[in-house]
Amino acid sequence: MTGKHLAKILALAIAGLTLSVAAMAEESKTEKQQMFLDGARLWPVYCSQCHNARPGSEFSPAQWDIIMMHMRTQSNMPAKDARAIKEYLKGGR
Amino acid sequence: MASRKSGARILAIVALTAVVLVMAIMTAAPRALADDAEVQAKALKQVERELRQLRADRARDRKLIEKLEEKLDQVQSQDSQIRTTNQQLQTSTKQLQNSNQQLQTKTDEQLKQIQAEVAEGPSERQFAKAIGGYMGTHQFTLTGAAAGDFVYDRQNGQNTFALTFEPLMLYRPKDWLLFEGEFEAAFDPGSGASFDAPVATAQIFLNDYMEIVLGIFDQPFGDWFEDQGPLWVNRFITAPLPFGTAALVPPSDIGMQLRGGYQWGQLGQDADYTAWVANGPSYDSSLPQPTIGQELNGVNNITTNTNGKAYGARLRFYPFPLDSKLGRLELGASTYNGKWQNGLWLNAWDVDFAYRRGNLQTRGEYMEAYRQMPAGSGPDNRQGWYFQAGYFLTGLRLPFLSRDLNSYLSRLEPLVRYSGVNQRAVVAEEISTTPGLGFNGSPSIFAPHAREVALGLDYWIAPSIVWQTEVDFELPRAGGTLYSFNGESTPSASSVGATPNDRAILTQFAVGF
């Protein structure tokens, strides 16, 4: 294999990696948006099952991180739903 | 004649001259010829030398010319390179100028943006990030609740104010580990305050579906102890009878839980489980001997009395998808089996439901407990239940009321609850009718067949700030036995018979923080 071929392959690999990283970042952003939307739907329903749903503005994002751990235990809600509600509470402040 | 003579003389002269000349030439010629050849040879040599010189000069000149041509080529090449470099430099300069201009524009924009942001101040997110970065990953949060009550019971004629403060401390050293501690300061009858720690746990999140809880925890039996206990969460001021003073299982336990939840269908269709092992139940040790109807202790700190453990399990199921618009329905079942003395078990089971749709919320439970008694005594069996419903008046607008009054009206939540307990007997020494926070003090509650209808009206100032008012109608049924020790080691039994009804009113201001 000549040096030129190697350089081409390397360039293609770098381009592919860059594209995949960009795609992952985009996917992550999309996932977060989806989580936020799911959280917005789940928040009034899941929380109100036991108590009035409290708005995101009542606690700081750091506090929500902790409180949602407590609430996940308390309610046994699925972890992904807890993450979605947390995303909504933190983002919707 | 003279002319002839002069002519002849001239001819003679000429002839003489010619002779002389010939003779001179004849004599001088060989020498002259020799001289000429020598000169010519010299000249020839000179010419040859000059020719050689010329050739050498020519060769040198040619070499010089070649060198000069080479140098000229080099100079031309260098000139070409310099021209190319110069062109490149010009292009680069142009590009740099463009970049510089773009950078300048961008910098100006960013500067303007930063100036605007500085003028506005940091956003909450930026501030939180900065604070988070400063505070570190170990995080601490204080939540909890506080409440003040006024309680009046008609039958015992007592009324009192009561106060409770229940801070809940949460500490998260890692994103998979949470410590939780609830401390309760209650102002009991008399002076001073009593302190308790009903919850102190470490919660270890193993994965998305599994979690371990270690410590002292609210009993996960049924739904009430764990989910409805906080002052601002309970829609009523008092607990339903099976979870109040005559609880069928211990309200708290020390041990270990394994719990988790998962989505089995569409969004909202979940199931969850809790399984635990704990110290188990213990009963009021101030009585001389185990007695039917004896009260359970709140928690069993050390299991020396049992040498055994309690085992519990709870499953809950949520059948409706979120998008079905059918509301949120929870169906649950629990068991609790624990040794309260060597070889003697308390076995209990419970089924529960909770349903929320729009402004309507309902929940209810039914449970039974079977306590094995020492030989010579009958079983200590109990049943308990409650059903409650509430409806938020949010959105209600009465045309004949002003806007302000309608806004007050929309914050109201009327409630109703029916609860009851059946047990074979009660112990006279355990009856305490002193009212307190969350307890109306009615003697009728201590009837073996207690029944209660509670009407409530909650005024929600904020999602976790509520002013609650509750009217309790105690409607005990006849029957059952009253055991009384009266200082003896063996109780005396008397039939309870009909017990008078009672009424109580409670009002409470509760804040969840």
Question: In this predicted model, what pLDDT tens digit does every residue of B398-428 receive, in sequence order?
Answer: 999 898 999 999 999 999 999 999 999 999 9
Range with lowest mean pLDDT among B32-36, B145-149, B189-193: B32-36
Range with lowest mean pLDDT among B3-7, B26-30, B474-478: B3-7
Q: Quick check: A63 contacting B, CB < 8 Å?
A: yes
Across B110-114, average pLDDT: 89
Given an 8 Å threshold on Cβ–Cβ distance, is A70 in contact with B267? no
Given an 8 Å threshold on Cβ–Cβ distance, is A73 in contact with B274? no
Interface test with A, best of B214, B267, B326 (most A CBs within 10 A): B267
What pLDDT score does A28 carry?
74
What pLDDT score does B378 carry?
84
What pLDDT score does B29 carry?
59
Q: Quick check: B205 contacting A, CB < 8 Å?
A: yes
Q: Quick check: B213 contacting A, CB < 8 Å?
A: yes
Scored b (16 or more CB within 10 A) or e, A32-62 reads eeebbebbbbbbebbbbbbbbbbebebbbbb
Question: In this predicted model, what pLDDT tens digit does every residue of B452-491 receive, in sequence order?
Answer: 999 999 999 999 999 999 999 999 999 999 999 988 888 9
The conformational region for residue B29 under phi > 0 = left, psi -120 to 50 = alpha, else beta, is alpha
Given an 8 Å threshold on Cβ–Cβ distance, is A80 in contact with B131? no
**Nearest chain B residue (CA) to A62:** B132
Structure tokens at A36: 């936020």
Given an 8 Å threshold on Cβ–Cβ distance, is B170 in contact with A67? yes
pTM over 0.80: no
Check pLDDT > 60 for residue B81: yes
Q: Quick check: A18 contacting B, CB < 8 Å?
A: no
Separation between Cα atoms, residue B372 and residue B386, nearest integer Å: 25
**Nearest chain A residue (CA) to B413:** A52
Kindly give the confidence (pLDDT) of every residue in chain A, 93 residues in length, as a single tens digit, with 9 standing for 90 and above.
566 777 777 777 777 666 665 555 565 778 888 999 999 999 988 899 999 999 999 998 889 999 999 999 999 999 999 999 999 999 876
Distance from the B212 Cα atom to the nearest Cα atom in chain A, whole angstroms: 9
Please, which pLDDT band fits residue B1 given cuts at 50, 70 and 90? very low
What pLDDT score does B130 carry?
76
Indicate the pairing of strand B481-484 with strand B492-495: antiparallel
Separation between Cα atoms, residue B474 and residue B492, nearest integer Å: 26
Q: Quick check: A75 contacting B, CB < 8 Å?
A: yes
For B328, the closest of A49, A60, A61 (CB atoms) is: A49
Q: Quick check: B259 contacting A, CB < 8 Å?
A: yes
Q: Are B336 and B355 in contact (CB under 8 A)?
A: no
- ipTM for this model: 0.75
For A76, the closest of B125, B272, B322 (CB atoms) is: B272
Give the residue from B259, B229, B180 showing the smallest Cα distance to A78. Answer: B259
Check pLDDT > 90 for residue B512: yes
Range with lowest mean pLDDT among B6-10, B150-154, B158-162, B261-265: B6-10
